[in-house]
Structure 1
Amino acid sequence: MPREWGKVNKMGLIGVLACLGIILNIMALKSPILGLILSVFWLAWLVCQLRKGWGWDLAIAILGATLIILGSVFFYIFNLGPTAVSLMVVILTILGFEVSKRNEQIKINISWGWPRMNAKFVVLSLYFVFYILSFVLLFQYQSTEAIRTPWEVLPKIFLVIYFALSGLLLIYATNSREDNNYKIITVLIGAHFLLGLMVATIIYKIGFGFDPFVHRAAEKALVDLGYIQPKPFFYMGQYALVAFGANIFQSSVTWIDKLIVPLMAVLTLPGLAISSLLKLTKTEREAKIAWPFLIGAVTPLFFYTVPQSLANLLLLILILISWSVILQKEKIIWPHWLILAAIFFIHPLSAIPGAIWLVWGALINSKKIWKYLGGMAAAISLPVMFVIWQKVSGGFGLDFAWENLGRLTESFGAEFLNYLPFYSIYHLVYLYRFNILFLILILAALGIYFLLRSTKNKAGVFHYLAVLGILILNLLALGLINFRAIIDYEQVEFIRRLAQIILIVSCPLLLTGAYLVIKKIMMLKGGQLMIIFFGALWLTFSLYLNYPRDDAFLKGRSYAVSEDDLKSVRWIDNDAQGKDYIVLSNQSVAAAALQEFGFKKYFTSNQQLTINNQQLFYYPIPTSSPLYEIYLDIIYNGVTREKIQKAQALTGAEKVYLVINSYWLDAKKRAEEAKLLTNNRENIGGKVWVFGW
């Protein structure tokens, strides 16, 4: 018999005590350990209050969306200092009690039916051992160097272990039929998903990428000051969520930020994906196997935290909980709208497709005229959004050109119907990589076939396909836009992001397509072995490809922020002795400055070299800063006094610094040129040269 623990009164006592403890810790004690314990209990209590009727996975998503909306509203109306966060804790605790009244009694079933000493137990034990070993390797090979890829420091044995783990996961999944094993396999899939998502978080000890440093700097300012000026129109949902977490946990913004998207993805997606697929397939085993195959598709979207990834995560949650509703022409309910509202507080590029999805779903039973009008408006909604935003802020500098469509075809042409001979394992990996779009289209086509064959309401399927068509039209329209404020090689960034969103909206098709393929293979003699071997191979290839790479097929150019970069920006700040200065550097050094000093200084341009005379950050922003263009000119064409003076004239800064990292092709040559122009210089760790004027 399952063991029952607690009723509303006991659960309520836990909630009240945790609430009071968190407030006391925020306002007075400020203990990270106490914050961790109390916050985990309090958040778990809130999820318990929500879970009845919604399930654990959706309860976590609803709680996350509520925190985003409430935090954003508090920020815009008041601020997000300790007092405001404490008030939010009180409000959410009261809401928890209100929910508990409707649920009457919360029961937690802790009888999971773990298997006895048999083959499944052996598989689970082996999985646990290899899993721990994987994390040991990740922490052992953490790096603070300027690496281009995690595979530069991680030994190949890690991928071998991951292959073994994937095989063990699929062995367990293909042999699981009991209801209790549904819970176990969901946990195993979540654990496997977590391992794949944590590679960059652990290996890149200082941080991954550039954008996360920008957003963390804003979040730190919000936590330290309780406000940000000017108040951002976008991204506030993430900032509020991270600031709330940093306050209740009394932990660093850095770790809250790094973990929030990966952990939320792990806690929600596996269960929601399996349960949503079961609504249509009714067969557990193949449904449980289908989701692991999509881990590879969504891992690159959620292994680090930026507003786009958080918004995409909520969008995928929205798709998973509502696609069966739309297919069956049922009513859109309040959790759907709540999650959509949360996305709008984070990023419009995900929110507008989410709105198209839900509004189109709400119109499914409406008159044709409303569908036609809604479809026409939705088909150009994203380009219209950019045009309106340009008129309001003037930030992008937009124009339209038909030749820009060439960029669109180039972006996707390399991933469709390519052949590679087999000379090594890398050729097999890239054979998959260079045909990934083709494979996605095949799975989507199989998904459409399955839905049309198995769904009684064909209109719902065509309604779903219409949404995909609308998003593809938006993709084509977006391909016509040229963003003058963005550097050339970043012009396709918005197209890539929208393509990822289309992939997210297509996930139900990919899930059902994978389900159909798995079901057919499992009927074959030896089909189970095929699923295990090729599935493990698929997952391992995907893990390798989902992270930055530097191999015979792809030259890695994105260097991580290193400890030497941090030392460089500290040296520069000390050397400036309080004077206004600018720095000509690459994005890694700029990211290091953001981590160390935040948004310390902006200059108003003294020349007409920026769009609408926008202010310039004192370190180069790679996507749009004229300072970065000057820096690239120096790196590729040589250091001259005229270029240094040009940067100084652009900003009016008292001092100018030049940072040259050793990984540039002509780094030593540029360093020698700079030495002839100044005696104020420093070599950091033999890997970074800093020059000052």
Structure 2
Amino acid sequence: MLGGFFRIHPTIFAALFLAAWAWNAFALHSPVLGGALLGAWLLLCGSQLGRRAAPVEHASLRLPVGIWLLLSGVMIAGAATYYAWQYPPGVAYVVLLLSVPVSLLLGRGAHRPGLLERWSHALKEAKSHHAVHAALGATGISLFFLALLFRSFADAATTDPIRSLWLVVSPSAFLCAFVAFALLAALLVSGRSRALAIPLACAALFVFLSASVLVFPIGSGFDPFIHRATVSHVVEQGSISPKPLYYVGQYALELFLVHGFSLPIDLVDFWLLPALASLLLIPAAYGAAAHLLRDRPRATAALTLVFLLPLSSFITTTPQGLANLWTLLFALFAVPTLMGLEPAFAEASADRRPRMAALTVGAVATAAIHPIAGLPALVFLALGLAHSLSFTSHKTVGRVAFWLIALAGSIVLPAAFVVNAIRSGTGSGFDLSSITPSLLLSSLHLGLFFQNGFRPLLDFAELWAHNGFLVLLLVALLGAWKLRRDTTPKPYLVMAGVLGVNYLLLSTAVDFSFLIDYERQNYAARLVPLIAFFLTPCALAGAGIILGRVRVSPVLVRAFTVLLTAALMTAALYVTYPRHDAFVVGHGINVSQGDVNAVYEIERRANGRPYLVLANQSVSAAAIRSLGFTHYYGNQFYYPIPTGSDLYQAFLAMNDTPTKETALSAFDIVNDICVSGCMRELPTSVFFAVNRYWWQSDRIVEQAKATADDWFSVDDGTVTVFRYDAPTPEAISQ
């Protein structure tokens, strides 16, 4: 009878959830209740899908797998619907209503392991841990200092333009971070009280990734503003034209959360990626390490490595960042399948091949988010399918297919860029003759970095910034070497090599001259974190092996290791965010309130007349945030998009020669686009915005005043704007 109650309990919970959800969706529209319902939905559906995808895992490991699959399904369903039709609120309602019974159905039909199966698996059901007083005290103190660190970020919130958030965050934040990380590292390295240490690690990772969101309430970067404005437009209109070929996976997920749970767009977009990373990454890493090491204390110790991974793409929600997270989770969740660690019941079943269906869902979702991470995820999936043939009688076929896929995958991204260039006519080309030995060596950035700036703390952080990837690589090779007899890390090592070849080709053979100078190595650089992510399972094993030795070492060795680990985690926190210090000149200035005010003042002074604006990317981002995609001339947005657009080149020309003649040359760009006619009237004015922090801004402002038809400043000169009027509309079109 008791067993029958527990079997029906999810159904009762689902009914209560659906009733509360319907009340909120159609009557209350409360974000607070929506947030609570979101948590209940993840718990309900995630746990059921986790039982199907990882039935013999501990419940704490099944839930992250289930949430990953659940959100992947939401992205795939939403993206398919959007491409085929549009995404009004009803789509989110249907997806949510279907997700509950489908999850219950899959969970009810899942295999329930018996006692022998649980004991045969390396991660057998753990006995409950009785936390000792010391562990409780360390956890409480660590949480206290994490709260102080979080408060330090929040207190530093600014709407002024700055080059790095570390210029406004109190230096005491680093002391708080070090103490919190030291106590966390002590708990993790001890391997005890995992019921406290693992949730504490999740909380620490959340604070680790929250600085940018807290310090920059308006936002930072450029891409987040474009994606947020796109989602806002789709929320209002149901679609956007033209429909984007990429990024729809993230859009579908955000639209689902906004429509389905009545959450504000800004709240969802600002916090989505940091929240998902902190919720899923630590449990996923623990599960992978526990499978590989077959020793839970060492697996717990290995979690310190997570904070040393290249996590910069997780601090702000972008499709690249979300796809990177999905790729890392894919690599971690695939460990039991691809390293030959499938549960005993799967090996004894009629089909002895590893289960790949769940991984396929995650890979397809990654491809729907961003192609630079999605294509490697699909290649890795194909490698896994070929590798799985080694579990059957078709070993030879599997080996041949495996290496053919690896060969094709080594050029998949350069080929994708060339195909896209041919399709769009941007002029990107592929030239193997440009690959020279010297260029290859320079693109590898090999060599250790040692530089003494006579600032020990900053020198230490810079040392980690330049050598962290090499350390990760060495630890991963150690892990792969130690695991070679018990597991098969080949898919991960080969995938890292495949991405390495893609990186070299993108760095040398692919022509990105259509981009502005500082973005031409951007695409190749995005592969470096992906290489690290595919090495992460082996690196976790290596870290667990090293720290396992430390656990049985003298107390001084253990104390030194804990303090060194805390120092590395603090250094990693510093270098994860954009910097402006003795070693690095920061160029990524955040969007300020002055940028926003300038955009509104330009719109007001235009008085309904069509116009163009020549400005830097922060002002353009502020325009997208404040006014959306309101004005286009053909396919030309009326503010510069800093990806090599002609209008941005005109802005750069104005910085060199700020004259009326240079400003009015921007009209030629619109005339060329609208030669066959535009739906909007041609512009009659050009506004030129100069930020105070821009290089030689004093010279630019003084020279621009001489020929401008009008000018004004915003926020005491934070932004100075000049207006240049065309003689007549007829003269422009000649």
What TM-score results when the alignment is normalised by the length of structure 2? 0.86
Residue type at the aligned position of 1:201: V
Q: Map 1:327-366 onto structure 2 (within 5 A).
A: 327-328=339-340, 331-364=354-387, 365=390, 366=395
Distance 1:307 1:648 in 2: 33
Q: Map 1:568-607 onto structure 2 (within 5 A).
A: 568-604=598-634
1:28 is displaced (CA, Å) by 4.5
> Which residue of 2 is the match for residue 95 of structure 1?
102
Distance 1:311 1:340 in 2: 10
> Which residue of 1 is the match for residue 29 of structure 2?
30
1:301 is displaced (CA, Å) by 2.6
1:16 is displaced (CA, Å) by 2.9
> Which residue of 1 is the match for residue 232 of structure 2?
220
Structure 1 SS opposite 2:158: coil
Q: What CA RMSD, in Å, does the superposition of the two structures yield over aligned residues?
A: 2.5
Give structure 1 stretches of 5+ with no counterpart: 605-614
Structure 1 SS opposite 2:291: helix
Amino-acid identity (%):
27
**Residue 648 (structure 2) pairs with residue 628 (structure 1):** yes
Q: Map 1:356-395 onto structure 2 (within 5 A).
A: 356-364=379-387, 365=390, 366=395, 367=397, 368-395=399-426
Does the CA-based 8 Å contact 2:615-2:690 persist in structure 1?
yes
> Which residue of 2 is the match for residue 442 of structure 1?
474
Structure 1 SS opposite 2:665: helix
**Residue 213 (structure 2) pairs with residue 201 (structure 1):** yes
Which stretch of structure 1 is more off in the superposition, 68-77 or 676-685?
676-685
Does the CA-based 8 Å contact 1:416-1:437 persist in structure 2?
no
Give structure 2 stretches of 5+ with no counterpart: 114-124, 342-352, 671-681, 725-734
Does the CA-based 8 Å contact 2:205-2:278 persist in structure 1?
yes
Equivalent residue in structure 1 for 2:498, among 462, 470, 474: 470
Provide closer, same or farther for how the CA distance between residues 144 and 111 of structure 1 changes in structure 2, counting only shifts above 3 A. Answer: farther
Equivalent residue in structure 2 for 1:67, among 68, 74, 93: 74
Distance 1:560 1:204 in 2: 7
**Residue 14 (structure 2) pairs with residue 15 (structure 1):** yes
1:618 is displaced (CA, Å) by 0.9
Does the CA-based 8 Å contact 2:658-2:700 persist in structure 1?
yes
Equivalent residue in structure 1 for 2:314, among 302, 321, 333: 302
Q: Map 1:51-62 onto structure 2 (within 5 A).
A: 51-52=50-51, 53=55, 55-62=62-69
Distance 2:209 2:513 in 1: 34
Distance 2:447 2:131 in 1: 44
Does the CA-based 8 Å contact 2:310-2:529 persist in structure 1?
no
1:548 is displaced (CA, Å) by 0.7
Does the CA-based 8 Å contact 2:418-2:430 persist in structure 1?
no
**Residue 255 (structure 2) pairs with residue 243 (structure 1):** yes
Distance 1:372 1:429 in 2: 39
> Which residue of 2 is the match for residue 133 of structure 1?
148
Residue type at the aligned position of 2:155: Q
Provide closer, same or farther for how the CA distance between residues 450 and 5 of structure 1 changes in structure 2, counting only shifts above 3 A. Answer: farther
Equivalent residue in structure 1 for 2:290, among 269, 278, 283: 278
**Residue 541 (structure 2) pairs with residue 506 (structure 1):** no
Structure 2 SS opposite 1:660: strand
Equivalent residue in structure 1 for 2:461, among 425, 429, 443: 429
Residue type at the aligned position of 2:502: N
Which stretch of structure 1 is more off in the superposition, 542-551 or 35-44?
35-44
Provide closer, same or farther for how the CA distance between residues 137 and 70 of structure 1 changes in structure 2, counting only shifts above 3 A. Answer: same
Equivalent residue in structure 1 for 2:594, among 545, 564, 585: 564
Equivalent residue in structure 1 for 2:697, among 667, 677, 680: 667
Residue type at the aligned position of 1:159: F
1:10 is displaced (CA, Å) by 4.1
Distance 2:503 2:460 in 1: 31
Equivalent residue in structure 1 for 2:519, among 470, 476, 490: 490
Residue type at the aligned position of 1:424: R
Does the CA-based 8 Å contact 1:8-1:104 persist in structure 2?
no
Equivalent residue in structure 2 for 1:264, among 261, 267, 276: 276
Equivalent residue in structure 1 for 2:666, among 647, 659, 662: 647
Provide closer, same or farther for how the CA distance between residues 442 and 36 of structure 1 changes in structure 2, counting only shifts above 3 A. Answer: closer
Distance 2:571 2:374 in 1: 31
Equivalent residue in structure 2 for 1:689, among 720, 727, 732: 720
Distance 2:313 2:303 in 1: 16
> Which residue of 1 is the match for residue 732 of structure 2?
none
1:237 is displaced (CA, Å) by 0.4
Distance 1:685 1:322 in 2: 53
1:423 is displaced (CA, Å) by 1.8
1:8 is displaced (CA, Å) by 4.6
Provide closer, same or farther for how the CA distance between residues 111 and 597 of structure 1 changes in structure 2, counting only shifts above 3 A. Answer: farther
Does the CA-based 8 Å contact 1:440-1:510 persist in structure 2?
yes
Structure 1 SS opposite 2:544: helix
> Which residue of 1 is the match for residue 118 of structure 2?
none
Does the CA-based 8 Å contact 1:65-1:339 persist in structure 2?
yes
> Which residue of 1 is the match for residue 349 of structure 2?
none
1:630 is displaced (CA, Å) by 1.7
Q: Map 1:285-296 onto structure 2 (within 5 A).
A: 285-296=297-308
Q: What per-residue deviation string (whole Å, max 9, x for no partner) do you get for residues 525-582 of structure 1?
A: 2221122110000000111111111111111111100011111101111111222111
**Residue 183 (structure 2) pairs with residue 184 (structure 1):** no
Which stretch of structure 1 is more off in the superposition, 540-549 or 357-366?
357-366
Q: What per-residue deviation string (whole Å, max 9, x for no partner) do you get for residues 127-150 of structure 1?
A: 122122222222111111111111
Equivalent residue in structure 2 for 1:84, among 88, 91, 103: 91
Residue type at the aligned position of 2:153: L
> Which residue of 1 is the match for residue 675 of structure 2?
none
1:643 is displaced (CA, Å) by 0.9
**Residue 690 (structure 2) pairs with residue 657 (structure 1):** no
Does the CA-based 8 Å contact 2:188-2:303 persist in structure 1?
no
Residue type at the aligned position of 2:697: A
> Which residue of 2 is the match for residue 611 of structure 1?
none
Distance 1:6 1:267 in 2: 29
1:681 is displaced (CA, Å) by 2.1
Does the CA-based 8 Å contact 1:26-1:82 persist in structure 2?
no
Does the CA-based 8 Å contact 2:48-2:107 persist in structure 1?
yes
1:307 is displaced (CA, Å) by 0.8
> Which residue of 1 is the match for residue 346 of structure 2?
none
1:194 is displaced (CA, Å) by 0.7
> Which residue of 2 is the match for residue 41 of structure 1?
40
Provide closer, same or farther for how the CA distance between residues 378 and 223 of structure 1 changes in structure 2, counting only shifts above 3 A. Answer: same
Residue type at the aligned position of 2:449: N
Distance 1:407 1:492 in 2: 13
Does the CA-based 8 Å contact 2:191-2:301 persist in structure 1?
no
Does the CA-based 8 Å contact 1:272-1:321 persist in structure 2?
yes
Does the CA-based 8 Å contact 2:291-2:335 persist in structure 1?
no
Distance 2:407 2:201 in 1: 40
Provide closer, same or farther for how the CA distance between residues 418 and 103 of structure 1 changes in structure 2, counting only shifts above 3 A. Answer: closer
Residue type at the aligned position of 1:522: R
Q: What per-residue deviation string (whole Å, max 9, x for no partner) do you get for residues 632-683 of structure 1?
A: 2222x23111111111222252221111111013212211222222352221
> Which residue of 1 is the match for residue 348 of structure 2?
none
1:371 is displaced (CA, Å) by 3.2
Does the CA-based 8 Å contact 2:73-2:361 persist in structure 1?
yes
Distance 1:87 1:12 in 2: 19
1:68 is displaced (CA, Å) by 0.7
Does the CA-based 8 Å contact 1:173-1:288 persist in structure 2?
yes
Distance 2:204 2:630 in 1: 40
Which stretch of structure 1 is more off in the superposition, 656-665 or 82-91?
82-91
Provide closer, same or farther for how the CA distance between residues 6 and 111 of structure 1 changes in structure 2, counting only shifts above 3 A. Answer: farther
1:404 is displaced (CA, Å) by 6.3
Which stretch of structure 1 is more off in the superposition, 384-393 or 71-80?
384-393
Residue type at the aligned position of 2:147: I
Residue type at the aligned position of 1:166: F
